[in-house]
Structures are given as structure tokens and as C-alpha cells.
């Protein structure tokens, strides 16, 4: 605990463009957590290079993600918002933890299998040991809680296993993190395939609404959203496209699915898509305006990048030094 608060850690990769799903499902909820927890939010750019990146594009996207964090309402004075690559303790602890993680455990990671299939020409060691770096991310800050989706739950479990194994050998060293259980964010699905989540890596440009999309683009994507031939607006699993549109509408307006269904009773899909588009535009405009404002003030963003990297490094280094001493590394001469 820090300052009497439990510690929360989370982060997003600096690849692709954040979607409406990222915002409504995660980022929007992070903002409400800073009063309850001591929060560390990382731009996890080290994880990003398990897949080949254009260096200039990666730098640009990392800065854009940092900007979005702040524009979304994460106060950089209250929350520690930093680049993972600016805190060397992440890489140093990851190496040590690699030596306390078994090959069989990594072989069972389903995300490695999925990513290896997608990037068969670049199945690198970083992709294989990705969960160990994630464990280092979490354990460095002695995180009590970690907000994770179902797809990341396996990585949190291996983090807990590694921490418990290390503690069992050397005594109490790491806090054993728990999955954050709180208000569930809106689960936003693809506009073109409502059976899968909206993704920033989707190859279909009409499948995802990006946080930087202009109003015309947002409206066009909503009009092209997949529905069905039933021609009735009901909130049920048998109509995944319609259900997804209703979920987006409710997340943006604060209405319940029941209220939304009643509102669109007797109306067509065209009316629903128009209303969804308008509600999304209304939610994203203040965010986009704030992004533009931050981008114009280079010194403001740079000062917080520097200050928060130092703050993160201070906390992370305390844990790292404790671990280094326990495994037998020589003390540093002051």
C-alpha cells in the first residue's frame, strides 16, 4: 500500500489506434479509480516490439497514447502515467523472473500460440516470454489489483504463480496481485463481426470506431454496421449486431438496454444507427478537443513524462534492489 491506498497497475500497448471499445470498456473506468487506489498506468511500449514496428510510428503512437490517457481524465499529478521503456527496472526484473519461470508454463500461454500463428515469420523469444515482462510490470509496483479482461487473466495467473514461487524461496518479497473486480466496462464488439471484440488491430477499417475518427467517419461506420434481416430492435443474443449497437448507445447515453429498446420500439435500424452515431460523436468530441489542446502544449506533456518516469523509477527501483539482494547480487557501492 502507498499513502494508505492499495496499488493498482494497468497499461495499454502503444500500437494501433485506440478504439471506442478501449475507451468505454477500460480507459473511461480508470479515471474513477484514482480516488480509491494509488494508480500506475503505463504506456507499455516494450511489449509492443514483440511484433516488428516502424520506429518513428511507434514513438508517435506512444506519445499519442500518453496524450489520450491525460485527455480522458487521468490526472498526471494524481496518477503515475509513464512510458515502460523509461523505467529500466522493468527489463532488469523481467530477466530475474525469467530464471524463476518454467518453459512448460510459457508453453501453455494461449496468447503466445495465437500471436505466433499470426506472425509465423517472427516467432521471437520476446513473444514467448511476454508474460514474464508483464509479471515484472505488475510486481515492481507491489500492485494489489490489476484490471484485466478475460484474454489477460492467464497472464495474471502466471504472475501470481511466479510471485508465490519467489516468495516461497526467499521470503515475503512481492505482493500477490488480485484481479480488479469493480464496475464492468461496456463490452463493445466489432461493427462488422459482432461475435468478436472491437479491436485496434482489425484489418477491416469499418469494424472499429477510433477515438480520433471525425464525425463523418463515425457516422459512416455506424451506417455500415452489421445488423440482420429481422427488422426489429430487441436486446438479445440472437441479434448480436443490434445488441452491440444498443450497448454502444447505452454506454454513451447512460440509458439501460430496456430504456433503449423502448425508445426504438417500432422504429427501423436506420434510426438506431443514426442515434448511435450521434451519441458516439457527442462522447468523443470533448475527448478530441482535449487531445488537440494537449498536443499544442509540448512543454506540458514533456514535463509530466519526465516527472512521472522519475516517480515510477523510484518505486520500481526499491522493489528491484530488494530482489537483487535476495538472489545474491553484490551490493552497490554508494
> Where in the sequence numbering do the catalytic residues fall?
115, 197, 200
Separation between Cα atoms, residue 302 and residue 8, nearest integer Å: 24
Q: Tell me whether residue 150 is annotated as binding.
A: yes
What are the phi and psi torsion angles at 205 (to 5°)? -65, -20
Alpha-carbon distance of 125 to 108, in angstroms, equals 15
107 is in an annotated binding site: no
Q: Is 137 annotated as a binding residue?
A: yes
Annotated binding-site residue? 104:
no
Query: Does the annotation place 22 within a ligand binding site?
Result: yes
Intra-chain end-to-end CA distance of the chain, in Å? 28
* 21 assigned ligand-binding residue: yes
Residue 322 counted as an annotated binding residue: no
10 membership: H or E segment, kind and range: strand 7-12
Q: 14 is written with which cell numbers?
A: 502503444
Q: What are phi and psi of 41, to 5 degrees?
A: -120, 115
Decide if 9 contacts 138 (C-beta within 8 A).
yes
Q: Cα separations (Å) of 205 from 15, 190, 210, 257, 276?
A: 16, 10, 10, 27, 18
Residue 200, annotated as binding a ligand: yes
- What dihedral angle (degrees, nearest 10) is formed by the CA atoms of 241, 244, 248, 250? 110
Residue 113 marked as a ligand binder:
no
User: Is residue 183 marked as binding?
Assistant: no
Q: How far is CA 306 from CA 87, 97, 210, in A?
A: 11, 27, 28
| 219 in a known ligand binding site | no
CB 159 within 8 A of CB 134: yes
162 annotated as belonging to a binding site for a ligand: no
151 labeled binding residue = yes
Any binding-site annotation on 208?
Answer: no
**Binding-site residue ranges for ATP:** 13-15, 21-22, 149-151, 188, 197-201
Binding residues are 13-15, 21-22, 137, 149-151, 188, 197-201
Amino acid at each position: 500500500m502507498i499513502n494508505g491506498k492499495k496499488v493498482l497497475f494497468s497499461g495499454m500497448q502503444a500500437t494501433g489506434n485506440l478504439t471506442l471499445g478501449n475507451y468505454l470498456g477500460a480507459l473511461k473506468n480508470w479515471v474513477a479509480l484514482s480516488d480509491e487506489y494509488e494508480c500506475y498506468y503505463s504506456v507499455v511500449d516494450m511489449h509492443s516490439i514483440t511484433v516488428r514496428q516502424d520506429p518513428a510510428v511507434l514513438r508517435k503512437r506512444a506519445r499519442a497514447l500518453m496524450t489520450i490517457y491525460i485527455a480522458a481524465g487521468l490526472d498526471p499529478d494524481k496518477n503515475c502515467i509513464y512510458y515502460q521503456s523509461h523505467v529500466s527496472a522493468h527489463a532488469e526484473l523481467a530477466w530475474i523472473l525469467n530464471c524463476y519461470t518454467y518453459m512448460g508454463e510459457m508453453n501453455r500461454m494461449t496468447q503466445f500460440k495465437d500471436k505466433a500463428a499470426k506472425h509465423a515469420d517472427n516467432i521471437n523469444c520476446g513473444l514467448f516470454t511476454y508474460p514474464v515482462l508483464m509479471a515484472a510490470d505488475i510486481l515492481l509496483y507491489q500492485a494489489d489489483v490489476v484490471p484485466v479482461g478475460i484474454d489477460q487473466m492467464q497472464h495474471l495467473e502466471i504472475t501470481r504463480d511466479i510471485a508465490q514461487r519467489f516468495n516461497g524461496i526467499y521470503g515475503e518479497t512481492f505482493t500477490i496481485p488480485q484481479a480488479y473486480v469493480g464496475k464492468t466496462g461496456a463490452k463493445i464488439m466489432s461493427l462488422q463481426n459482432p461475435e468478436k471484440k472491437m479491436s485496434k488491430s482489425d484489418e477491416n477499417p469499418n469494424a472499429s470506431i477510433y477515438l480520433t475518427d471525425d464525425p463523418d467517419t463515425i457516422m459512416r461506420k455506424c451506417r455500415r454496421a452489421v445488423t440482420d434481416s429481422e427488422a426489429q430492435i430487441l436486446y438479445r443474443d440472437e441479434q448480436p449486431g443490434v445488441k452491440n449497437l444498443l450497448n454502444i448507445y447505452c454506454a454513451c447515453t447512460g440509458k439501460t438496454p430496456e430504456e433503449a429498446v423502448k425508445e426504438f420500439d417500432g422504429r427501423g435500424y436506420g434510426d438506431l444507427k443514426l442515434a448511435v452515431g450521434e451519441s458516439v460523436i457527442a462522447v468523443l468530441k470533448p475527448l478530441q478537443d482535449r487531445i488537440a489542446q494537449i498536443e499544442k502544449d509540448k512543454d506540458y506533456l514533456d514535463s509530466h513524462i519526465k516527472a512521472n518516469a522519475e516517480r515510477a523509477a523510484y518505486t520500481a527501483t526499491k522493489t528491484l534492489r530488494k530482489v537483487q539482494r535476495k538472489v545474491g547480487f553484490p551490493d552497490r557501492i554508494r
